[in-house]
Structure 1
Amino acid sequence: MWNAADLPVSSPFLRCVIVYLCDSAPADIDNIIKPIQDALVGLVFEDDFLVSDVDSHRRFLADPIDVTSLPPLLQAGVAKGEECVYVRICDAQQPEELLMTISTQTLRDRKMDALAATYAKEGYLVLKEPAAGELPFDLNGYRPDLIAKKDDGGLIIEVRAGALPGSVDRVQYLAQEISKHPGWRFLLATVADADPSIVPTTADDLPTWRQLADKLTQARALAGNGAVEPALLYLWGIFEAALRKRAIAENIPVERLPPAMLLNHMYSQGEVSIAQHDLFREFMTIRNRMAHGANTTVDSVHVATLLNETEELVADWAAAKAV
């Protein structure tokens, strides 16, 4: 977020990203670019000549908008429901980076082929883009990308190229409906999925809520003994396990997603607050730097705050499961 105390940027090759959330009588999208850039001169950058790339988007507030992969500030704009403009200034991409981008459709096709091969190897009968008559039960017109059958159950699989561009409510409804059929489960996959060989994807792969509470006690003991860095690394595993358990419990089919996407989706579903989202995003950044060997300062007060927030979430979610 831009800080009023910051000096205007003077480096060339900037990228301006504009998202116009509009009502029923919007301005033309090309007519708002120049006034916005002019307004930023002397505040964000020294001259609008420094902007070499522009991405401009218009979306109607009356239409469904999936906020799960949006930045928190843009999510807040959608939630408020009033006409507004989101602007982001960042470094422009090099031309060769743009030209070398693999099409999302190609990535999606590769993901489908990889999933089909994986489940076939595990003994499933895999149907790719099944016809209506090949569905195991009525899905109210929904056509999955893959079906993997084994014994009396299996998986209904949807594959997406991006980080859930559609409605999370829709896929949650599908997951709930499919779970009514014994032995069947809905699986949402994206090209950015975490490695399923190391990421738990079922409730049986994860600790119980009681076990997570015990692990939190151990993390607090580590922090209390001055071992704040080990405490933080251990705490991240507890927090991520809790997120994945909650997603599974609420039939939110995002348990395969990498941590950053998973956290965004759980925020979009109201499972974590915006303050918690921002806190845990910062937590994730520190944890990642430590895990990759960076020399990182860990504040004991910060760790205590993370422990308190994680304990609160685990307690709330465990209590909800018990109801």
Structure 2
Amino acid sequence: MKSDILEQTVLESLLPELEADGYQVIREPRRPIVPPFLGSYLPDLIALREDGNLAIEVVSKADPESRKLDDIARLFDGQKGWKFRIYWASKSDIEEPLRAQSINDIEEALGQAQTLVAESHTSAGFLLSWAIFEAIARRILADRFGRPQTPGRLIEIMANQGILTHSEAHRLRSLASFRNRFIHGELDVGVTADEAGEFLQILQSLMTIASHPA
């Protein structure tokens, strides 16, 4: 089903939630990736995870094709490992783009994160560092990061743009796994002061780029 701007906005908002829940998300999947039992139907996105996959369709009530959803849902009857989800889009789902923060505000937050880590409040400093990371990314690439982002997407796009070095991206991917587990309630996952300090050093390097955009 063809998505309009409203439906695309809802799709964008789903990505961080699904990726944070451990899914590999593929937007507008092509035929080789879609399971054969779906026939000619192509979902808006599929989300893959070891314990089960999702096929997701976002529709507005004004969509003339929405009446076909019951037929699509029946395709999943008896199919192990797959579930079908429908998200209804409305104008209330459209959020204002997130504002790029000033360099001074980001520097102040970075100083707070450094103080937290130095005073052994490592977990708090580590989580604040992820907020700072997204703020820096939005400052550098405002056209790409107007909406909330997952750590993984931030890392991959910034690495592809040459903003993160190969070694920085590799390290952040590792740290992102700690962040995701901790923020979803695995409180004993633990991040060392050295690991938090590495993250702060990467943020400091990125601040140089954010302060002097190309």
Instruction: Judge same fold: TM > 0.5, yes or no.
Output: yes
Q: Which of 97, 104, 110 is 1:201 aligned to?
A: 97
1:315 is matched with which residue?
A: 208
Secondary structure of the residue that 2:156 maps to in structure 1? helix
Letter in 2 for 1:284: A
Alpha carbons of structure 1 residues 107 and 310: separation in structure 2 relative to 1, 3 Å = same
1:274 is matched with which residue?
A: 166
Alignment RMSD (CA, Å): 3.5
- Structure whose residues are more often helix by fraction: 2
Q: Which of 92, 107, 117 is 1:223 aligned to?
A: 117
The answer as to whether partners of 1:200 and 1:206 remain within 8 angstroms in 2 is no
1:211 is matched with which residue?
A: 105
The answer as to whether partners of 2:182 and 2:189 remain within 8 angstroms in 1 is yes
Structure 1: stretches of 5+ with no match in the other structure: 1-96, 118-190
Letter in 2 for 1:274: H
Report the Cα offset of residue 254 of structure 1: 4.9
Secondary structure of the residue that 2:163 maps to in structure 1? coil
Alpha carbons of structure 1 residues 242 and 319: separation in structure 2 relative to 1, 3 Å = same
1:303 is matched with which residue?
A: 196
Q: Which has the higher contact order (CA 8 A, sep 6+)?
A: 2
What is the CA–CA distance in structure 2 between the aligned matches of 1:102 and 1:235, rounded to whole Å?
45
What is the CA–CA distance in structure 1 between the aligned matches of 2:202 and 2:162, rounded to whole Å?
15
TM-score (norm 1): 0.38
Alpha carbons of structure 1 residues 206 and 254: separation in structure 2 relative to 1, 3 Å = closer
The answer as to whether partners of 1:260 and 1:281 remain within 8 angstroms in 2 is yes
Alpha carbons of structure 1 residues 105 and 283: separation in structure 2 relative to 1, 3 Å = same
Report the Cα offset of residue 103 of structure 1: 7.8
Matched length: 141
Alpha carbons of structure 1 residues 277 and 98: separation in structure 2 relative to 1, 3 Å = same
Alpha carbons of structure 1 residues 233 and 254: separation in structure 2 relative to 1, 3 Å = closer
What is the CA–CA distance in structure 1 between the aligned matches of 2:201 and 2:39, rounded to whole Å?
43
What is the CA–CA distance in structure 1 between the aligned matches of 2:112 and 2:141, rounded to whole Å?
24
What is the CA–CA distance in structure 2 between the aligned matches of 1:259 and 1:199, rounded to whole Å?
20
Alpha carbons of structure 1 residues 277 and 309: separation in structure 2 relative to 1, 3 Å = same
Letter in 2 for 1:260: G
2:129 is matched with which residue?
A: 235
The answer as to whether partners of 2:137 and 2:145 remain within 8 angstroms in 1 is no
Listed as ranges, the matches of 1:240-279 within 5 Å are 240-248=134-142, 251=143, 253-256=144-147, 257-279=149-171
TM-score (norm 2): 0.55
Structure 2: stretches of 5+ with no match in the other structure: 1-33, 46-55, 63-86
Identity, % of aligned pairs? 21
2:178 is matched with which residue?
A: 286
The answer as to whether partners of 1:235 and 1:307 remain within 8 angstroms in 2 is yes
Alpha carbons of structure 1 residues 259 and 303: separation in structure 2 relative to 1, 3 Å = closer
Listed as ranges, the matches of 1:147-162 within 5 Å are none
The answer as to whether partners of 2:140 and 2:213 remain within 8 angstroms in 1 is no
What is the CA–CA distance in structure 1 between the aligned matches of 2:146 and 2:39, rounded to whole Å?
26
The structure whose Rg is larger is 1
What is the CA–CA distance in structure 1 between the aligned matches of 2:127 and 2:94, rounded to whole Å?
17
What is the CA–CA distance in structure 1 between the aligned matches of 2:182 and 2:127, rounded to whole Å?
8
